[in-house]
């Protein structure tokens, strides 16, 4: 399980798809990049800005979801050894974890739960 806190360091609005791509720095040379539909961001009343602080959990079990603003399920479909990058699809939306520490925890085909809350 990956459980980290970090700050938003990149935002890209994908207007053609009504999706926002958010990059969160969670450690030295570690980041989580994910795509969230703008409609979901509106529902939780969050307009992401640079330096916003968030907590992220990525795990193979759903666990307790009540404390989180966003919960999505996906499947790992690619790992890039050189970059220590794990890529999952959450209903077509991308989740990328770039981390030497967490790279070994996930395998292609794993079901994963992505959880996020603002702090």
For the domain 2-118, what is the CATH code?
2.40.50.140
The gap from C-alpha 116 to its chain's centroid, in whole angstroms, comes to: 8
| pLDDT tens track for 46-102 | 999 999 999 999 999 999 999 999 999 999 999 999 999 999 999 999 999 999 999
- pLDDT digits 0-9 by tens, 4-34: 999 999 999 998 899 999 999 999 999 999 9
pTM for this entry: 0.95
Q: Where are the domains of the chain?
A: 2-118
* Residue whose tokens read 């992401």: 48
What angle (nearest 5°) sits at the alpha carbon of residue 37, between those of residues 72 and 17? 130
Confidence of residue 114 (pLDDT cuts 50, 70, 90): very high
**Cβ pair 3, 54 in contact under 8 A:** no
Exposure of 52 by Cβ count < 10 A (0-12 exposed, 13-18 middle, 19+ buried)? middle
């Amino acid at each position: 399980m990956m459980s980290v806190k970090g700050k938003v360091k990149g935002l890209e609005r994908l207007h053609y798809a009504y999706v926002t791509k958010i990059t969160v720095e969670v450690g030295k040379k570690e980041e989580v990049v994910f795509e969230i539909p703008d409609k979901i961001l509106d529902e939780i009343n969050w307009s992401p800005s640079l330096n916003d602080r968030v907590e992220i959990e990525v795990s193979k079990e759903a666990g307790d979801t009540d404390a989180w603003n966003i919960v999505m399920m996906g499947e790992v479909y690619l790992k890039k050894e050189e970059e220590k990058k794990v890529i999952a699809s959450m209903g077509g939306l991308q989740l990328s974890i770039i981390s030497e520490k967490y790279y070994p925890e996930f395998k292609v085909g794993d079901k994963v739960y992505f959880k996020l809350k603002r702090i």
